[in-house]
Structure 1
Amino acid sequence: MSSSSHPRASKRAANSAVSRSPNACERCRKQKIRCSGSQPCDACTKRSRPCHFDETHQRVVVTRGYIRELQRRAIRRDDVSAQAICDEAARNVSGETAMASGLTRPEDMDPPALPRPGGSEHGDDTPSIADGSHVTEEPGLTNFLTQDKSPFMTAGNGMTYYLGASSNWTFTQKVLSMVYERAFRNQIPDVERLIEGLGNAYDLPWDGIPLGEPPSLATVPTIDHAIYLINAVKFHCTQLFHLFDEETFIPALYAFYQRSPGTRHETDRLWLVHFMLILSFGKAFTVRNKGKNPAGIEYFIKALQFLPSTIMLWRHPVHSTEVLSCIALYLQCLDYRIVAHNYMGQALRLALNYGLHTDIQRDGFGKESVERIRRVWWTLFILDREMTSIAGVPQSIQIDDVQCQLPEFSGSSQRIMVLKMQLTLSQLMAKINQTMYGVGGKLHKDFLRGIENALGELAQVHEELYRCFPVPPDQAQGSISRTSAHLYLSYYRCIILATRPILFCFIKIRLDSWEECQARLHSSNTARNMLQMCLDASIQILVTLDLLLQQNLIDPFLPFDLDSVSAATINILVAMALDHEFLQSGSSWITTANAIFAELVASGNQVAAVRVKELDQLKSLLAKLGNGGGQPAPARSPTTPSAPSSWVPSGQVMPQTRDSMFAAQSQVHVAGEAVTCTVEATTSSASTALSRAAPQTLDFSATTGFSFDTGTFDSSQAAEIIELANSVADIDSIWVSDIIGHDSIW
């Protein structure tokens, strides 16, 4: 080798030494780039990014003698602890004996302080290192919905109920309690609380006593009417859930109607219950309810009365799981959430005990049976995840414990893609609940880490969802498929679930100090962007539901549309209280939400009527806050928004909210000057929205917005979410901890 090559070889050796740095910062690890290992590293310094090193990944070189010394200390510590336990037991025995004889002295009952292995004699609990300096722990972060004490609420009837952490109703109730206390300097009376999940919206005309004989079948519809109701169930549910096996259910249906009316009660009891349940769903989908009795309730009551005991259900596990799932879903629609979750739990445990979650092969069961089992299991799994998140309780089963394969759906690639996306979204929702809404709430630095991980996974789901389920070209004319809308709504709810803690964080600041809230809003770009992302997702929920409303596709019975519009509305109401400049633009979206609620209530959804009362109560309380100052201000009347608009900008197939927290604002301020944004009516939709403002016209929009364009996929949209995830560490954990870690709401 020539002498001239030695400098190059030396340079390559130096570069390779840098690339083999044992310690790399989190950003370099995530992006898989070379890290210098310094603090801060060269890559982060060059890009002006915060540089953090995860201690769990750092390599430490120690001597064997040091390891042996640690082992000896551990052995001595175990010996000391064991001896201390024995001494404590002996003192207790001797103390009881002395107490009986009246000879016990107080100082005899005090055990001596145990020496701390490797610690000081002063009992200092602060962790220490070899040089005697103390290690400062990071402030503990507590999610606002998870306190040290389990949150409970007492209703006007004296009963106490548990408030689940991730429940949207819990979020609403906690905001209501804080705002009421701020406005009236007193706790909200229990009689003024609207209890959800207990079936108060509907009457269930049944005393709970089962029938020993088959129910009267005199009111069973004709076969033509029954097929019509079954087809309605297929239209509303088949693309998303498996409620019955058509290959076995329809032949049994014809066999049932071929019987004489006097012998129909001799039909298989479990199938008869299943038939009544499907009829109850079909009637609920096709008949507008009037009054407190939902349409189809007569069939549902008969199904409950004739439902076999659990002791009998185990003999037909697959069919019984279908029946129990139908009961749970119907009760969920009636807002009997606690009872619905119990029935879903029965179905889940029945399925688990019969191994429906395992990889069942066709050899022993047959192709048709295995296909049915797979459809049953994944519907059960998805509904359980949905109900668990709504209730705000821990997950029943982890995905790692499931080996069941996906059904083939007779080769339908669309059905398979829908199921895969449902599973992806349900898994994402479960992870968010587990990492950010843990029991006890003391998540320390893992709370922000949970937000970061959730945003990273949201970016991946964003890319997959928008590529696999694009809106067709006629989206500009206001059409969207019911299945795609359901998936988009689920995705937006995941975003809200991940970012809503920051929204609650700011409303707590707002209730304490208007000036502090304004300062915090503009001091952290990351927190502001997360808040905007939460509100943009809320707006997109209203936009999606507005498109469904224009097509008469709003589902007045299934709970998913109602839950979505409720979550979106509460977020916008809270955001309107943060800054009065957003009052008018926020009011336009409240008008959109009111139109959606009005359609649900007009369709006979009594649960929607209860939600409207709850939101009206919160709206009136928030109006008393005013726009600053120490005392509550009188309620303000929001400006009525201008003419309706479908909020579909020209040249785009789906509305975007990149430029503002709310999509529009009639008047905004730029450099102290008022700028009026024109509003143009494009359709005569029942809902109202406004044209978007320019990026520079809104102070709160910052530099990062989030464009949820469902028409075409743009990789930059996912990149925006990833960039936000990478900047979560920039949030000042101390003030977040002070806000959501030290205040007790209940």
Structure 2
Amino acid sequence: MPLQADTRRARRTPNAHLTSPVSTSDGQSNLQAEECPDVAIQPQSEPQSEPEFRLRTDPFVIPSRTIPNFQRNRRQWIWLSPWSTWSFTVRLMLTLGEKLRPGSSSLPQNVLDTEVYEFPWPSFSASEINISGLPSLNHALYLFTTMKFHLGQTYRLFDEVEFESEIKDFYANAVQNVSEYRVWFIKFLLVLAFGTAFHTSHTTAQEPPGSRFFSRAMALMPGPGCMWKESMLGIEILAMAGLYLFCIDDRESAHCYLSNAIRIAQMEGLHTQLPQEELGAEKVTHCRDLWWTLYIMDRHFSSSLGLPMSVQDGDITTPVNPPNVGSQSDSARSLQVNLSHLMSIIVTTVYLPARTPLTSFLEQTRSILHTLAHHAQEIERIIRLKFDNSPGAMPRETHYLTMLYHQCVIFATRPPLLAALKERSELLGHPDDENWDGFLAQTATVISAGIKSAAKTLQILSKEYSMLEVFLPYDVEFAFGAALHLTMASAVFPDVVDYQHCRHLSRQILHELVSRGNRIARARTAELKYLETLCAELAVQGRRQGHQTLTLSHLESEPMDTWGADAGNEARLSVGDQNLGAGMPEPDVSLQDLGHNTSSNMDLLNSIGISADNFFSIIQQMPDPETLSESILDWDLWKEAT
């Protein structure tokens, strides 16, 4: 294809336009060839008579991309999804490896061997139920309390007071009750599995912690055609089983169990506003709490696997309280629901299976950042009103909420960073073909926001090692996602952030988790080291071949420790005056007016890097879409070789 070959050598202008790693607009497959990145920054045709220069890119969905499966099951391949972080990492490894190490496209075995734990699934033949090996009543209550501490602030799976009473009733006559309440006994075993897993530390066992109780629960589990008859109890059990499987990195099985729980919940109408006068306030509250727990889990599981969400928002009518209503825990939970919803919006609008003009991408990003600014206002209010005079470290629910917030920023701003990385790798050896000024003028603010959030994520995780979750996978995901983002940035913008310091923080966090028995952290560490090597090679080759060092000038002059420190120190922007979009209420309160404890509140906000002012400022700095030219930013991870 001569036109495309000529285009590859044309001087590239950075007026770009965005294509997701999913498909092209014409739906043609280009995945039959080398897997090197197809760059996003392409010249538009200047005179009308000349053709517009565009590179053909891999549509990714037609056909899908796969790698060989080396797990001990009957799957022949592993599908690499559009937005899963793990799939993204593998695709990036393949892309950079093919470009930097031609002829050596295979991945290291420790990346392909994705079985983290050795978990022997029990036989699903009829199993005789027994009470052997159960802990004492006091120990069982202790394990239940441990589970509540780790899960209760994020998930509300069942009535905890009622369940504690049921445990005591069960132990009063365990031999008889175990046969009479067989399905409840499954739930009890799952609680023991979680409690044991959270309590276990520094283990070197090949099997996951708590697997002894979990395996017994699975052996007693009724078939999918029976669990719906258990109604709420069946939903709770399936959701708990899915969560445990997700924690041991069996994400596919976890998704299957959670999906079954959601289907039963829909049949019970949990996604709708149930009649309180008929069911009672307590039952309706439990149904609502359980539904939003399933919702949060679904958004997380689906995003992690790169799958469509199991439930569409338009089908949900059950309410969720505003973040400023209820207790501290209620407020944090409401924001978790909102941020989970925002994450699903990000992965389904930013990571589109089509070619998207840069103007559209920036408008989508502007809308997302505007929503994040609104959520930052809510967090500011909550910290002032709910956490006022609270001594000690950051509350656990605030920790998770903060990490989820920064994860949204990272996901939303990753496309232009990837586009820059691909442009640099694609033009290795041709420094004169690069022209970055226009591209960075349009995207530097967005790229900077993602880098800031990634660095702040590592800062927060490294401050309180005692708060790191060893069994739940979230802190591993947050640390790995942030480190991945900064590793990519280091290859293209080497002086934007103190990468060596951030790299040291990420290694410390993952090492701490590994030392406490988290085998998933060990697997992510191996993947990160390999990707760090590839990105370092790209940076070295770029310097040797005379490529310019790229900068994001306004970020490089800003010390990392001050990110977020201007919250409340600048005049809050008026939404109406700045024409930031409709539908977002103008703040009715300023942090300067929040009372005597503003200083300590500001310290907490500064430490977590969340500021509505910062995000309004970012929005204000983004280019006016009316001034942008029509061009293409292409960030597919493969192109057709011709």
TM-score range, shorter chain: 0.7 to 0.9
Alignment-derived partner of residue 366 in structure 1: 280
Q: Give the one of 616, 619, 631 matched to 1:734.
A: 631
Whether 1:413 and 2:327 are equivalent positions in the alignment is yes
Q: Give the one of 184, 190, 198 matched to 2:101.
A: 184
Alignment-derived partner of residue 555 in structure 2: 660
| Cα offset, 1:509, TM superposition | 1.3
Question: Deviations along 1:593-619, whole A, 9 cap, x unmatched?
Answer: 111101110110101000001111112
Alignment-derived partner of residue 460 in structure 2: 544
Preserved contact between residue 239 and residue 257 of structure 2 (Cα < 8 Å): yes
Query: Structure 2 vs 1, CA of residues 517 and 139 (structure 1 numbering), >3 Å: closer, same or farther?
Result: closer
Which segments of 5 or more consecutive residues in structure 2 lack a partner in the other structure? 1-14, 16-47, 547-551, 567-603
Whether 1:274 and 2:187 are equivalent positions in the alignment is yes
Q: Give the one of 572, 589, 613 matched to 1:716.
A: 613
Q: Give the one of 326, 346, 350 matched to 1:432.
A: 346
Provide the rounded CA distance (Å) in 2 between the counterparts of 1:606 and 1:662.
Answer: 38
Q: Give the one of 298, 314, 329 matched to 2:228.
A: 314
Question: Deviations along 1:197-244, whole A, 9 cap, x unmatched?
Answer: x5x1101122x4224234432111111111111111111111111133
Preserved contact between residue 166 and residue 433 of structure 1 (Cα < 8 Å): yes
Alignment-derived partner of residue 174 in structure 1: 91
Deviates most, 263-272 or 502-511: 263-272
Amino acid at match of 1:268: Y
| Cα offset, 1:712, TM superposition | 9.6
Alignment-derived partner of residue 616 in structure 1: 529
Preserved contact between residue 388 and residue 394 of structure 1 (Cα < 8 Å): yes
| Cα offset, 1:146, TM superposition | 5.6
Alignment-derived partner of residue 680 in structure 1: none
Alignment-derived partner of residue 378 in structure 1: 292
Provide the rounded CA distance (Å) in 1 between the counterparts of 2:625 and 2:322.
Answer: 41
Question: Deviations along 1:408-453, whole A, 9 cap, x unmatched?
Answer: 99x9422321222012101111111121223x33345644443333
Provide the rounded CA distance (Å) in 2 between the counterparts of 1:193 and 1:459.
Answer: 40
Preserved contact between residue 58 and residue 640 of structure 2 (Cα < 8 Å): no
Q: RMSD of aligned C-alpha atoms?
A: 3.7
Secondary structure of the corresponding residue to residue 78 of structure 2: strand
Preserved contact between residue 413 and residue 446 of structure 2 (Cα < 8 Å): yes
Preserved contact between residue 529 and residue 724 of structure 1 (Cα < 8 Å): yes
Preserved contact between residue 140 and residue 443 of structure 1 (Cα < 8 Å): no
Preserved contact between residue 95 and residue 637 of structure 2 (Cα < 8 Å): no
Counting only pairs closer than 5 Å after superposition, residues 559-574 of structure 1 correspond to structure 2 as 559-574=473-488
Amino acid at match of 2:210: G
Provide the rounded CA distance (Å) in 2 between the counterparts of 1:594 and 1:299.
Answer: 33
Secondary structure of the corresponding residue to residue 734 of structure 1: coil
Alignment-derived partner of residue 526 in structure 1: 442
| Cα offset, 1:395, TM superposition | 1.6
Provide the rounded CA distance (Å) in 1 between the counterparts of 2:59 and 2:365.
Answer: 14
Larger radius of gyration: 1
Question: Deviations along 1:79-138, whole A, 9 cap, x unmatched?
Answer: xxxxxxxxxxxxxxxxxxxxxxxxxxxxxxxxxxxxxxxxxxxxxxxxxxxxxxx99999
Amino acid at match of 2:555: S
Question: Deviations along 1:262-319, whole A, 9 cap, x unmatched?
Answer: 4353141111000011111111111113221122110000111101222221222211
Amino acid at match of 2:192: L
Preserved contact between residue 454 and residue 482 of structure 2 (Cα < 8 Å): yes
Counting only pairs closer than 5 Å after superposition, residues 585-624 of structure 1 correspond to structure 2 as 585-624=498-537
Query: Structure 2 vs 1, CA of residues 728 and 274 (structure 1 numbering), >3 Å: closer, same or farther?
Result: farther
Whether 1:265 and 2:181 are equivalent positions in the alignment is no
Query: Structure 2 vs 1, CA of residues 145 and 226 (structure 1 numbering), >3 Å: closer, same or farther?
Result: farther
Whether 1:299 and 2:195 are equivalent positions in the alignment is no
Provide the rounded CA distance (Å) in 2 between the counterparts of 1:205 and 1:160.
Answer: 21
Counting only pairs closer than 5 Å after superposition, residues 113-512 of structure 1 correspond to structure 2 as 148-156=62-70, 159-190=76-107, 192=109, 194-195=111-112, 200-206=115-121, 208-260=122-174, 262-288=175-201, 289-406=203-320, 412-438=326-352, 440-444=353-357, 446-469=360-383, 479-512=393-426
Question: Deviations along 1:642-671, whole A, 9 cap, x unmatched?
Answer: xxxxxxxxxxxxxxx99635975xxxxxxx
Preserved contact between residue 93 and residue 531 of structure 2 (Cα < 8 Å): yes
Provide the rounded CA distance (Å) in 2 between the counterparts of 1:229 and 1:524.
Answer: 53
Preserved contact between residue 242 and residue 257 of structure 2 (Cα < 8 Å): yes
Preserved contact between residue 376 and residue 611 of structure 2 (Cα < 8 Å): no
Provide the rounded CA distance (Å) in 2 between the counterparts of 1:136 and 1:359.
Answer: 58
Preserved contact between residue 357 and residue 377 of structure 1 (Cα < 8 Å): yes
Provide the rounded CA distance (Å) in 2 between the counterparts of 1:315 and 1:305.
Answer: 18
Preserved contact between residue 382 and residue 422 of structure 1 (Cα < 8 Å): yes
Secondary structure of the corresponding residue to residue 332 of structure 2: helix
Amino acid at match of 2:184: W
Alignment-derived partner of residue 12 in structure 1: none
Alignment-derived partner of residue 76 in structure 1: none
Amino acid at match of 1:179: L
Amino acid at match of 1:609: R
Asked which structure has the greater RCO (Cα within 8 Å, sep 6+), the reply is 2
Query: Structure 2 vs 1, CA of residues 443 and 274 (structure 1 numbering), >3 Å: closer, same or farther?
Result: same
Provide the rounded CA distance (Å) in 2 between the counterparts of 1:632 and 1:338.
Answer: 44
Preserved contact between residue 526 and residue 730 of structure 1 (Cα < 8 Å): no
Query: Structure 2 vs 1, CA of residues 420 and 534 (structure 1 numbering), >3 Å: closer, same or farther?
Result: same
Provide the rounded CA distance (Å) in 2 between the counterparts of 1:286 and 1:541.
Answer: 25
Query: Structure 2 vs 1, CA of residues 141 and 485 (structure 1 numbering), >3 Å: closer, same or farther?
Result: farther
Preserved contact between residue 247 and residue 472 of structure 2 (Cα < 8 Å): yes
| Cα offset, 1:729, TM superposition | 6.5
Provide the rounded CA distance (Å) in 2 between the counterparts of 1:404 and 1:564.
Answer: 30
Secondary structure of the corresponding residue to residue 67 of structure 2: strand
Query: Structure 2 vs 1, CA of residues 690 and 452 (structure 1 numbering), >3 Å: closer, same or farther?
Result: closer
Counting only pairs closer than 5 Å after superposition, residues 644-723 of structure 1 correspond to structure 2 as 660=555, 664=559, 709=606, 715-723=612-620
Provide the rounded CA distance (Å) in 1 between the counterparts of 2:93 and 2:512.
Answer: 25
Amino acid at match of 2:283: S
Amino acid at match of 1:539: A
Amino acid at match of 2:404: S
Provide the rounded CA distance (Å) in 1 between the counterparts of 2:630 and 2:62.
Answer: 19
Question: Deviations along 1:336-394, whole A, 9 cap, x unmatched?
Answer: 01111111110111111221111111222222221211111110111101111111111
Counting only pairs closer than 5 Å after superposition, residues 627-638 of structure 1 correspond to structure 2 as 627-629=540-542
Preserved contact between residue 509 and residue 516 of structure 1 (Cα < 8 Å): no
| Cα offset, 1:708, TM superposition | 7.3
Preserved contact between residue 569 and residue 590 of structure 1 (Cα < 8 Å): yes
| Cα offset, 1:740, TM superposition | 4.3
Which segments of 5 or more consecutive residues in structure 1 lack a partner in the other structure? 1-49, 51-133, 634-656, 665-688, 696-706
Query: Structure 2 vs 1, CA of residues 285 and 278 (structure 1 numbering), >3 Å: closer, same or farther?
Result: same
Preserved contact between residue 455 and residue 724 of structure 1 (Cα < 8 Å): no
Counting only pairs closer than 5 Å after superposition, residues 47-62 of structure 1 correspond to structure 2 as none
Preserved contact between residue 233 and residue 281 of structure 1 (Cα < 8 Å): yes
Query: Structure 2 vs 1, CA of residues 630 and 371 (structure 1 numbering), >3 Å: closer, same or farther?
Result: closer
Counting only pairs closer than 5 Å after superposition, residues 567-586 of structure 1 correspond to structure 2 as 567-581=481-495, 585-586=498-499
Question: Deviations along 1:442-479, whole A, 9 cap, x unmatched?
Answer: 3456444433332232222222223323696899x982
Query: Structure 2 vs 1, CA of residues 184 and 416 (structure 1 numbering), >3 Å: closer, same or farther?
Result: same
Secondary structure of the corresponding residue to residue 147 of structure 2: helix
Provide the rounded CA distance (Å) in 2 between the counterparts of 1:443 and 1:663.
Answer: 32
Provide the rounded CA distance (Å) in 2 between the counterparts of 1:305 and 1:732.
Answer: 61
Query: Structure 2 vs 1, CA of residues 355 and 140 (structure 1 numbering), >3 Å: closer, same or farther?
Result: farther
Amino acid at match of 1:320: G
